[in-house]
Structure 1
Amino acid sequence: MTLIYGHRGAKGEAPENTLTSFRQCLSHGVTRCELDLHLSADNELMVIHDPTLKRTTGRRGKVVEHSAADLITYDARQGGPGWVQPCHIPTLKTLFEQCDFEHWQLEVKSASRTRAASTVLAIRELAQQFDLLDKVTITSSSREVLDAAQDLVPDVSRGLVAEYAWLDPLKVAHNYGCKLLALNWTLCTPERLSKAQAQGLHVSVWTVNEPALMHRLADFGVDSLITDFPGLARTTLGKD
Structure 2
Amino acid sequence: MTLIFAHRGSAGTHPENTMAAYVEAERAGADGIELDVQLSKDGQLVVIHDETINRTTNGKGYVKDYTLNELKRFNILTKQQHILKIPTLEEVFDWLKTNDLYCNIELKTSKIRYDFIEEKVIALIKRYHFEDRMLISSFNHYSIIQCYRLAPEVEIAPLYSEVLFMPWVYAKSIQAKGIHPNVKTINDALIQASMENGIAVRPYTVDKEEDMKRLFKLQCSAIITDYPEKAVTLRRKHT
TM-score, length-scaled by structure 2:
0.91
In the other structure, the counterpart of 2:32 is 32
For 1:143 and 1:217, how far apart are their aligned partners in 2? 25
SS at match of 2:203: strand
Per-residue deviation at 1:155?
2.9
For 1:198 and 1:172, how far apart are their aligned partners in 2? 15
Per-residue deviation at 1:151?
2.7
For 1:211 and 1:114, how far apart are their aligned partners in 2? 37
**Structure 1 unaligned runs (5+)?**
none
Give matches, 1:1-150, under 5 Å.
Answer: 1-77=1-77, 82-99=79-96, 100-111=99-110, 115=114, 118-150=116-148
Judged with a 3 Å threshold, the aligned counterparts in structure 2 of structure 1 residues 68 and 230 are, in CA distance, closer, same or farther, namely same
Aligned amino acid, residue 93 of structure 2: F
SS at match of 1:218: helix
SS at match of 1:33: strand
In the other structure, the counterpart of 2:159 is 161
- CA deviation map 1:175-210 (0-9, x unaligned): 211112112111221211122112211111111112
TM-score, length-scaled by structure 1:
0.91
- CA deviation map 1:106-139 (0-9, x unaligned): 00123489636x1111111111111101111110
8 Å CA contact 2:118, 2:146 repeated in 1:
yes
In the other structure, the counterpart of 1:235 is 233
Between 9-18 and 160-169, the greater mean CA deviation after superposition: 160-169
For 2:130 and 2:114, how far apart are their aligned partners in 1? 22
SS at match of 1:110: coil
- CA deviation map 1:133-189 (0-9, x unaligned): 111111011132123223333332111112111665334322211112112111221
Aligned amino acid, residue 106 of structure 2: E
Between 138-147 and 34-43, the greater mean CA deviation after superposition: 138-147
For 1:45 and 1:76, how far apart are their aligned partners in 2? 17
Per-residue deviation at 1:40?
0.9
Aligned amino acid, residue 107 of structure 1: E
Between 20-29 and 137-146, the greater mean CA deviation after superposition: 137-146
For 1:223 and 1:157, how far apart are their aligned partners in 2? 14
For 1:180 and 1:148, how far apart are their aligned partners in 2? 16
SS at match of 1:46: strand
Q: Percent identity?
A: 27
For 1:139 and 1:153, how far apart are their aligned partners in 2? 14
SS at match of 1:208: coil
The ranges of structure 1 where at least 4 consecutive aligned residues each deviate by more than 4 angstroms after the TM superposition are 111-114
For 1:75 and 1:26, how far apart are their aligned partners in 2? 23
